[in-house]
Amino acid sequence: MRHRLRFMRSPGGAIGVAIVLFVVAVAVFGPYLAPHDPTAPIGPDAAPPSSHAPLGTDELGRDVLSRLLNGGRSVIGLALLSTALAYAVGMSIGLVAGYSRSKVDPALMRTVDVMLAFPPLLFLLVLIAGAGTSIAVLVIGVAAIQAPAISRIVRTSTLEVSVRGYVEAAVARGERPIAVIRREIVPNILAPVLVDAGLRFTYSILIIASVNYLGLGLQPPSSDWALMVSENREYINLNVWAVIAPAAMIALLTIGVNMTGDAIARSLGRSYVPRPVETVPPS
Amino acid sequence: MTAVAERGRRVRETSPVLAFLGRRMLGALGAILVASLVIFLGTVVLPGDAASVVLGRNGTPQQVAALNHRLHLDKPAGTEYADWMSGLAHGDFGDSAVGLAQGETHAPVWPLISGPLKNSLILALVTALFMIPLSLFLGVLAAVNAGRPADHVISLGTLTGIALPEFVIGSLLVGVFFVGLNWLPPVALVPPGANPLDDPQKLVLPVMTLLLASLASGVRMVRAGMIEVLGTEYVQTARLNGLPERRVLYRYAMRNALAPSIQVLAQNLQWLIGGIIITESVFAYPGLGTTLVTAVGNRDVTVVRDIALLIAVAYILINLVADLIVMLLVPKLREPA
């Protein structure tokens, strides 16, 4: 386990982990620390900071600090959920395509090409126009954007691993394909597949926050950092903190995750290129 | 001698440049077709009855049926797709679902999107005008100073920019330059029919937002390409021959470092398109992005699919142009594969 944490020794890695832990702590414990109800007005609209409300009030007179402390769960939770879903779907497809070398293979590659030839945000907006705004559409849409690239990497790694001796030995022992995939292949492809996990998580945060900001994801009165930025944007000259504070929290989260991912990639001797969807290795 | 003459003729007959061009154009056409299918499937075939959403709770079943009929949404999907495509081929973008639902007899989409299209193109072009030379300059600067403070500052700055969503960058910039310093306007409203360039001050913050969000990958690629080329033997030979460093850099190294960079710059331009959708909304800039977001919110499927297709076509054309430029820069690629 010790060597896995080597990346923490670099200053970037240590700072990145500290930032991520701080933001996650705010998201997890924040709701218990919030001084006011995040959805009830406590004073005048868009008032500057006071002793009653340290970060002022928002455009409906609600406490910005309380909303800030409540607004992290949705960003992190939805991004985690859609990234996990993307990995589950992408790995299943990639494993089947790579291990069976069946006709799924060319079809999969063409699908990936189509996904890469289409702006991801546009894909999500078209999906929302057709299916309406809901959390399910958001999570499934973001997972659908990321799954093809994951499946491609999984497929390539599976092709590589499945001709190795230990896999052939397992097949010769008469083990069923499911068992071979689970016991021999998956453990041996996890490292190259998961090295981009941080990137994909950042990307999920970016795109989910952007859709929430556009008002096409989570709906009011949810307290969500991205939604807070857009709700208070119009009143920025009345209480600048109602915009800056949630924007800064999102910034801390994505920068922290990126620094951690960068440090991990460096400790593994890999380069770290942000924005994962475009960084699909040629098949 | 006859062999040479014959080879000359064969080369003239199947000009590799033309063949390449033809192949690429066919590929782009295919990609546009696939994009139109994806957009069509997304907006029309998915569950969710656009007409009843557009009409709201007060719409009677008769009204919903009538609107579906007028939007041609009651036909089989295949016919509807063919109608959309043949309309576009005649320059007819169809009618806005929301416009028809509000009782207008005729609500063509084109007048709704032609002005925003022009505004978005202006914003994109102004940004690209700064983005391309800046990526090249910062990338070369970082490569020449690799490992030194200038390199670290450039890497850290661009990495931070790319980690942030456009709306966060835009909001922080407004916080600094409007609320803090009061130098620049917080919104980029442009009256219908006016040219955004008449008041360039409005464009400063949107362009800065887009640049900060999109510079990183270009700078990184140019830097990586330059470092690789600077280590090659022909650059060393040029240096050993006593050529001035400036000439080595621009005449020998940059030309070969540029080829991969152009594809990344094209990717950057493509990212710009996604970024523009959000940045326009941050600054209330009346472009295609804000129009699209409004239409998605209203479930105005006809407007959404037209704008989505326009954006997808732009995306694909950028790729095509980048491929052609790379081919002109690197003669090696002109050989038939």
Of A129, A257, A275, which has the smallest distance from its Cβ to B162's Cβ? A275
Q: Which residue has the higher pLDDT, A66 or A263?
A: A66
Mean pLDDT of B79-88: 83
Between A and B, how many CB-CB pairs are < 8 A? 159
Domain count, chain A: 2
Domain contains A277? no
Of A131, A202, A209, which has the smallest distance from its Cβ to B47's Cβ? A131
Contacts of A278 in chain B (CB under 8 A): 217, 267, 271
Chain A nearest C-alpha distance from B105 (Å) = 23
Do both A138 and A177 map to the same domain?
yes
Contacts of B48 in chain A (CB under 8 A): 130-132
Please answer yes or no on whether B163 and A126 come within 8 Å at the CB atom: no
Chain A nearest C-alpha distance from B11 (Å) = 31
Do both A198 and A95 map to the same domain?
yes
How much of chain A exceeds pLDDT 70, in percent? 89
Do both A158 and A229 map to the same domain?
no
CB A218 within 8 A of CB A77: no
Which pLDDT score, from 0 to 100, does residue A54 have?
81
Do both A100 and A116 map to the same domain?
yes
Chain A nearest C-alpha distance from B124 (Å) = 15
Do both A60 and A88 map to the same domain?
no
Mean pLDDT of B124-147: 86
Examine the pLDDT at B322 and tell me if it is beyond 70.
yes
Q: Which residue has the higher pLDDT, B247 or A127?
A: A127
pLDDT tens column, A144-177: 988 888 888 888 888 888 888 888 888 888 888 8
Domain contains A282? no
Place of tokens 């954006």: B311
Mean pLDDT of A197-216: 89
Domain contains A270? no
Which pLDDT score, from 0 to 100, does residue B325 have?
80
Do both A128 and A235 map to the same domain?
no
Which pLDDT score, from 0 to 100, does residue A279 have?
35
Range in A91-95, A126-130, B87-91, B202-206 the model is least confident about: B87-91
| The pair of three-digit structure tokens given for residue B97, joined into one six-digit string | 């679902």
| The pair of three-digit structure tokens given for residue B324, joined into one six-digit string | 């052609």
Please answer yes or no on whether A130 and B315 come within 8 Å at the CB atom: no
Domain contains A273? no
Which pLDDT score, from 0 to 100, does residue A89 have?
92
| The pair of three-digit structure tokens given for residue B218, joined into one six-digit string | 């270009």
Please answer yes or no on whether A216 and B53 come within 8 Å at the CB atom: no
DSSP structural state of residue A10: S
Helix (H) or strand (E) holding B194: none
Q: Which residue has the higher pLDDT, A223 or A85?
A: A85
Of A126, A226, A275, which has the smallest distance from its Cβ to B308's Cβ? A126
Cβ-in-10-Å burial (0-12, 13-18, 19+) of A207 comes to buried
Q: What are phi and psi of B95, to 5 degrees?
A: -110, 150
Domain contains A205? yes
Which pLDDT score, from 0 to 100, does residue B337 have?
43
Please answer yes or no on whether B301 and A262 come within 8 Å at the CB atom: no
Which pLDDT score, from 0 to 100, does residue A248 have?
92
Which pLDDT score, from 0 to 100, does residue A78 have?
94
Which pLDDT score, from 0 to 100, does residue A102 have?
66
Place of tokens 């996904």: A115
Which pLDDT score, from 0 to 100, does residue A81 have?
95
Please answer yes or no on whether A122 and B159 come within 8 Å at the CB atom: no
Examine the pLDDT at A231 and tell me if it is beyond 50.
yes
Examine the pLDDT at A281 and tell me if it is beyond 50.
no
Do both A140 and A227 map to the same domain?
no
The HSE-up count of residue B313 (CA atoms within 13 Å, CB side) is 11
Contacts of A118 in chain B (CB under 8 A): 35, 38, 312, 315
Chain A nearest C-alpha distance from B307 (Å) = 10
Which pLDDT score, from 0 to 100, does residue A277 have?
36
pLDDT tens column, B238-280: 888 888 877 777 777 777 777 666 777 777 777 788 788 899 9
Examine the pLDDT at B47 and tell me if it is beyond 80.
no
Mean pLDDT of A23-32: 92
Mean pLDDT of B189-202: 79
The strand ranges marked E within chain A are none
Range in A64-68, A237-241, B31-35, B101-105 the model is least confident about: B101-105
Please answer yes or no on whether B312 and A251 come within 8 Å at the CB atom: no
Distance from CA of residue A60 to its chain's centroid?
30
Please answer yes or no on whether B270 and A248 come within 8 Å at the CB atom: no
Which pLDDT score, from 0 to 100, does residue A77 have?
93
Q: Which residue has the higher pLDDT, A64 or A117?
A: A64
Contacts of A126 in chain B (CB under 8 A): 38-39, 42-43, 304-305, 308
Examine the pLDDT at A24 and tell me if it is beyond 80.
yes
Cis before residue A246, ω within 30 degrees of 0? no
- Confidence band for A27, pLDDT divided at 50, 70 and 90: very high
Which pLDDT score, from 0 to 100, does residue A5 have?
65
CB B329 within 8 A of CB B259: yes
Substitution target from B46, B162, B171 for chain A, most A beta carbons within 10 A: B171
Contacts of A233 in chain B (CB under 8 A): 171, 174, 282
pLDDT tens column, A265-279: 777 766 555 443 333
Range in A80-94, A131-145, B318-332 the model is least confident about: B318-332
Contacts of B179 in chain A (CB under 8 A): 236-237, 240
Do both A120 and A190 map to the same domain?
yes
pLDDT tens column, A40-90: 888 788 778 887 778 888 888 888 898 999 988 998 999 999 999 999 999
Examine the pLDDT at A282 and tell me if it is beyond 50.
no
How far is residue A14's CA from residue A18's CA, in Å, rounded to a whole number?
Answer: 6
How much of chain A exceeds pLDDT 90, in percent? 19
Substitution target from A214, A225, A241, A272 for chain B, most B beta carbons within 10 A: A214
Which pLDDT score, from 0 to 100, does residue A1 have?
45
Range in B54-63, B87-96, B115-124, B206-215 the model is least confident about: B54-63
Substitution target from B81, B159, B168, B272 for chain A, most A beta carbons within 10 A: B168
Do both A67 and A164 map to the same domain?
no
| The pair of three-digit structure tokens given for residue A259, joined into one six-digit string | 């620094």
Mean pLDDT of B154-166: 82
Q: Look up the domain containing A6 and give its range.
A: 1-43+53-71+223-261
How far is residue A128's CA from residue A150's CA, in Å, rounded to a whole number?
Answer: 23
Please answer yes or no on whether A119 and B315 come within 8 Å at the CB atom: yes
Do both A79 and A216 map to the same domain?
yes
Chain A nearest C-alpha distance from B234 (Å) = 26
pLDDT tens column, B280-305: 999 989 989 999 999 888 888 888 88
Which pLDDT score, from 0 to 100, does residue A178 have?
83
Please answer yes or no on whether B46 and A210 come within 8 Å at the CB atom: no
Examine the pLDDT at B49 and tell me if it is beyond 80.
no
Domain end residue (candidates: A220, A251, A271): A220
What is the rounded average pLDDT for all residues in chain A? Answer: 82
Domain end residue (candidates: A166, A193, A220): A220
Substitution target from B167, B269, B273, B323 for chain A, most A beta carbons within 10 A: B167
| Mutual angle of helices B110-144 and B288-298, in 10-degree steps | 120
Domain contains A251? yes
Of A114, A123, A278, which has the smallest distance from its Cβ to B267's Cβ? A278
- Confidence band for B77, pLDDT divided at 50, 70 and 90: confident
In this structure, what CATH number is given to the domain that contains residue A131? 1.10.3720.10
Domain contains A267? no
Do both A208 and A103 map to the same domain?
yes
How far is residue A229's CA from residue A251's CA, in Å, rounded to a whole number?
Answer: 12
Of B186, B296, B304, which has the smallest distance from its Cβ to A236's Cβ? B186
How far is residue A79's CA from residue B215's CA, in Å, rounded to a whole number?
Answer: 25
Do both A92 and A181 map to the same domain?
yes
Examine the pLDDT at A30 and tell me if it is beyond 80.
yes
Contacts of A15 in chain B (CB under 8 A): none
Which pLDDT score, from 0 to 100, does residue B9 have?
53
Instruction: Give the Å distances, CA to CA, from B30 to A79, A148, B38, B310.
Output: 33, 20, 12, 15
Chain B nearest C-alpha distance from A248 (Å) = 8
Contacts of B162 in chain A (CB under 8 A): 258, 274-275
Domain contains A271? no
